[in-house]
Amino acid sequence: MEKKIMLGNEAFARGAFEAGVKVISSYPGTPSTEVTEAAAQYDQIHVEWAPNEKVGTEVAVGASIGGARALSCMKHVGLNVAADPFFTAAYTGVTGGLVLLVADDNGCHSSQNEQDSRYHGRGAGVPVLEPSNAQECKDFMKYAYDLSEKYDTPVLMRSNTRISHSRGIVTVEERQERELKPYEKNIQKYVAMPAMAKKLHVAQEKRLNQIEEDSKDFPINRMEINDKKIGIITSGICYQYVKEALPNASVLKMGIINPLPKALIKEFAEQVEEVYVIEEGNPFFEEQIRAMGIPAKGKGMFTIQGEYSANMIRKAFTGEAPECVPAQEDAPGRPPLLCAGCPHRGLFYILGKLKKTVMGDIGCYTLGALPPTSAMDACLCMGASITMAHGFEKAKGKEAARDTVAVLGDSTFFHSGITGLINMNYNQATGTVIILDNRITGMTGHQDNPSTGKNAKGQEAPAIDIAQLCRACGVEHIVEVDPFDLPAVEKAIKEETAREELSVIITKRPCALIVKQPDIPHVITDKCKNCKMCMDIGCPAIELENGKPVIAAERCVGCGLCKRVCPFDAIEEEVK
Ligand SMILES: Cc1ncc(C[n+]2csc(CCOP(=O)(O)OP(=O)(O)O)c2C)c(N)n1
């Protein structure tokens, strides 16, 4: 058997491959994205990017009804978007095995919150599995499909940033090809209307109870009895921290985390003197274990915030922790910035200059909120820019809201912006929506989307024309501009926000990382009056040297935006 070093997410994909999965439909979201990207390398699997997580989940449900093993992957907040099909699929159950993979982000490395998906699994009443290393990512995936088919239920596979993004040695095996399970019409099972749903709910509760009872024998749980003074109940990445910090402690490592393997927990608690629960996030295990009458300690010692570490656990138990090398105190702060050459920069420069109120959204462009452009007022969740701008207008009245615009990216528009735009048209809004079409899903690492002309496997696909789509949503006034053509951007914003009707501005320029600029760096000449206007665009290639701006040639991609904002023609292309 071959061994490979794999990222947790690659191992999940390998597990799906070996389990004979046929259909994967996902929406990107850090830290889950690479599962779908890695799976797209396998010819035997149909892999697609869906426009959002609800669509991806429903495609997977359809594939499962059709008899195939299916998967949908998403980040934690994506599960909110998919919650509607997810909660009811938990009633209907499956034909082919169905797994939803959700990756949490403890520590908010790349997310707007630290939402704990375990509650969704419990709320929906489905089994939740949580691996603790790359090998388990692969093995648990295969186990999840067996569970799904055995108990007729979707399974939630829970990961997080550390599990998804760390590498480990994985033993790979052959794919087990699976015949499609025959489709049989069964409206009692698949038509979730009230009369059926009541019965389905009863069946769902029964199977969950059965899973709980059987879970004491699941090989994915492990009891390690060592020193009996300290007994730790844990799962996932925290297991690794515990083993490093307290190698002599007794540990119950749970692989299934909903329903909790209660019989094992009881058996473990009886064997150790003190029970501790170590889990990142909320006291999900602790509260349930305490409700079993076990006086477990947990959040009294540990925070619900951020990520844990071996050091933090060692310190909590022994009062001591090895010295960490402190961060260099005088190291300069490095706030995140739009890339050099990013097309979004031109738009935010003008929005800042015009002092617009900007209802923002999630994508690379959220960085427009930070200095020096400081051109964003709110950012909530994907698609919310359009709907927040609409609510703002309805609250304040059309005149007072005239200086307000919504700003969102192309992928975000497809994800959940379209319905907001339809709502604006239907409810007679007069505002302006700006769609930043950089022809890619930039923030999550360049996934294709319905307007890029390519599918998840990199093959040609139909490309939706965003302007036509907006027109079909009822918008009559649509302007397309190059975001680096600053006078045109300014004109469009002024004219469209002055309008009495709803309008859309589409800024069109590909992401600087997909279309290489000519690569001719710019230089600042003697004509420079040190007005520092070029610093206002926040380009990472422009810095101050002895109080004067200079362009760092190694970072400059030659986009020329600085040249366009310089009032003294002091920026020129470098002649080599
Ligand atoms: C519900 C949800 N799903 C996924 C994500 C992850 N995510 C953040 S922004 C984004 C898309 C960004 O692409 P786009 O709108 O095209 O803007 P760009 O980054 O290219 O500027 C994604 C997928 C998220 N934050 N929330």
Instruction: Judge whether residue 325 has pLDDT over 90.
Output: no
Asked if 447 and 555 sit in the same domain, the reply is no
In 3D, which of 100, 136, 104, 97 has the Cα closest to residue 15? 136
- Read off the DSSP letter of residue 378: B
Cβ 75 under 6 angstroms from ligand 1:
yes
| H-state helical runs in 193-279 | 194-214, 236-245, 262-271
Q: Check whether 516 has a pLDDT greater than 80.
A: no
CATH number of the domain residue 382 falls in: 3.40.50.970
134 vs 387: CA distance, rounded Å: 40
Last residue of a domain, one of 164, 184, 217: 217
409 lines ligand 1 (CB under 6 A): yes
Give the distance (Å) from ligand 1 centre to CA of residue 409: 8
Mean pLDDT score across all residues of the chain: 96
Strands (E), 268-354: 274-278
Q: 326 CB contacts (<8 Å, ≥6 apart)?
A: none
Mean pLDDT over 200-229 rounds to 98
**Distance from Cα 10 to the centre of ligand 1, integer Å:** 21
Question: Could you tell me the CATH number of the domain that includes residue 252?
Answer: 3.40.50.920
Q: Is the pLDDT of residue 392 over 80?
A: yes
Residues 316, 276: contact at Cβ < 8 Å? Answer: no
Distance CA 286, CA 254 (A): 13
Please report whether residue 324 resides in a domain. no
Total domains in the chain come to 4
Angle at 206 between CA 201 and CA 212, to 5 degrees: 125
Mutual angle of helices 236-245 and 310-318, in 10-degree steps: 50
**For 258, phi and psi rounded to 5 degrees?**
-155, 130
pLDDT in tens, 517-542: 666 878 898 999 999 999 999 999 99
For residues 151 and 126, give the distance between their C-alpha atoms in angstroms, rounded to a whole number.
Answer: 10
| Residue 238 belongs to some domain of the structure | yes
Same domain, 50 and 190: yes
What pLDDT shows up at residue 574?
A: 84
One domain, residues 537 and 497: no
298-319: burial string, b at 16+ Cβ within 10 Å, e else: beeebeeeebbbbbbbbebbee
Whether the CB of 78 sits within 6 Å of ligand 1: yes
In a domain, 381, yes or no: yes
Decide: 117 in ligand 1 pocket, CB within 6 A: no
Could you tell me where the DSSP H helices lie in 70-218? Answer: 76-81, 83-92, 118-124, 134-151, 161-165, 187-190, 194-214
pLDDT at 324 over 80: no
pLDDT score at 298: 97
Report the separation in Å between the CA atom of 412 and the middle of ligand 1, taken as the mean of its atom positions.
6
Cα–Cα distances in angstroms (integers) from residue 304 to residues 43, 284, 308, in the given order: 42, 10, 10
**Is 333 within the bounds of a domain?**
no
Helix or strand run (H / E) with residue 330: none
**Residue 372 per-residue DSSP state:** T
Secondary structure of residue 576 in the 3-state scheme: coil
Which ligand 1 atom is the nearest neighbour of the CA of 511? 20
Rounded Cα gap, residues 327 and 329, in angstroms: 6
Ligand 1 contact via 365 beta carbon (within 6 Å): yes
Q: What is the pLDDT of residue 378?
A: 98
Question: Could you write out the DSSP letters of every residue in 417-445?
Answer: IHHHHHHHHHTT---EEEEEE-SSBTTTT
How would you class 494 by CB atoms within 10 Å of its CB: exposed for 0-12, middle for 13-18, buried for 19 or more?
exposed
**Which of 362, 435, 449 maximizes ligand 1 atoms within 8 Å of its Cβ, making it the mutation to test the pocket?**
362
Residues 463 and 534 in one domain: no
Question: 184 is in which domain, residue-wise?
Answer: 2-217
| 509 φ, ψ (degrees, to nearest 5) | -170, 130
Which pLDDT score is estimated for 506?
98
**Whether 179 and 205 share a structural domain:** yes
CB of 66 closer than 8 Å to CB of 96: yes
pLDDT at residue 1, as a whole number: 82
Point out the domain boundary residue: 508, 539, 554: 508
Over residues 117-153, the pLDDT tens digits come to 999 999 999 999 999 999 999 999 999 999 999 999 9
pLDDT over 70 percentage in the chain: 99
Verify that 431 and 534 share a domain, yes or no: no
* Main-chain phi, psi angles of 207, to 5 degrees: -70, -30
**Mean pLDDT to the nearest integer, 309-329:** 85
The continuous run of DSSP H or E covering 159 comes out as strand 155-160
- Listed in sequence order, the residues at least 6 apart from 459 whose beta carbon sits closer than 8 Å to its beta carbon are none
Residue 259 shares a structural domain with residue 313: yes
Last residue of a domain, one of 169, 194, 217: 217
Is 325 part of any domain? no
Tell me how far apart the alpha carbons of residues 299 and 464 are, in angstroms, rounded to a whole number: 49
Distance 382 CA to ligand 1 centre (A): 7
Note whether residue 334 is domain-resident.
no
Residue nearest to ligand 1 atom 3, measured at CA: 78
What is the CATH classification number for the domain harbouring 530?
Answer: 3.30.70.20
| Dihedral sign from CA coordinates of 526, 527, 532, 537 | negative
Mean pLDDT, residues 396-414 taken together? 95
Q: Do residues 401 and 544 both lie within one domain?
A: no
What's the sign of the alpha-carbon dihedral 326, 330, 331, 334?
positive
Q: Are residues 383 and 494 in the same domain?
A: yes
Name the closest-CA residue to atom 4, ligand 1.
29
Q: Are 252 and 231 in contact (CB under 8 A)?
A: yes
pLDDT in tens, 15-25: 999 999 999 99
For the chain, helix, strand, coil in percent to 5 are 40, 20, 45
Has residue 55 been placed in a domain? yes
Portion of the chain with pLDDT greater than 90, in percent: 92
Reported confidence tier of residue 294, pLDDT bands at 50, 70, 90: very high
- The pLDDT confidence band at residue 331, using thresholds 50, 70 and 90, is confident
Give, as one character, the DSSP assignment of residue 193: -
Kindly state the tokens that stand for 46. 């149909």
Kindly tell me if the per-residue pLDDT of 322 is higher than 80: no
- First-to-last C-alpha distance (Å) of the chain: 55
User: pLDDT for 332-358, tens place per residue?
Assistant: 878 889 999 999 999 999 999 999 999
- Mean of pLDDT values over 72-87: 98
Over the stretch 247-274, which tens digit does the pLDDT of each residue have? Answer: 999 999 999 999 999 999 999 999 999 9
Domain co-membership, 234 together with 207: no
Mean pLDDT of 454-474: 97
Q: What are phi and psi of 267, to 5 degrees?
A: -60, -40
Asked whether residue 300 falls in the same domain as residue 256, the answer is yes
pLDDT at 201: 98
Nearest Cα to 398, choosing from 352, 351, 432, 347?
A: 432
How far is residue 37's CA from residue 44's CA, in Å, rounded to a whole number? 14
Decide whether any atom of ligand 1 lies within 6 Å of the 450 Cβ.
no
Tell me whether residue 326 is in a domain. Answer: no
Residues 478/304, Cβ–Cβ less than 8 Å: no
Among residues 441, 499, 450, 451, the alpha carbon closest in space to that of 475 is found at 499
Cβ atoms of 21 and 45 closer than 8 Å = yes
Cβ atoms of 540 and 339 within 8 Å: the answer is yes
* Contact between residue 450 and residue 463 where contact means Cβ atoms under 8 Å apart: yes
Asked if 101 and 35 count as a contact pair (C-beta separation under 8 A), the reply is yes
Ligand 1, atom 1: nearest CA belongs to which residue? 78
Do 158 and 56 have their domain in common? yes
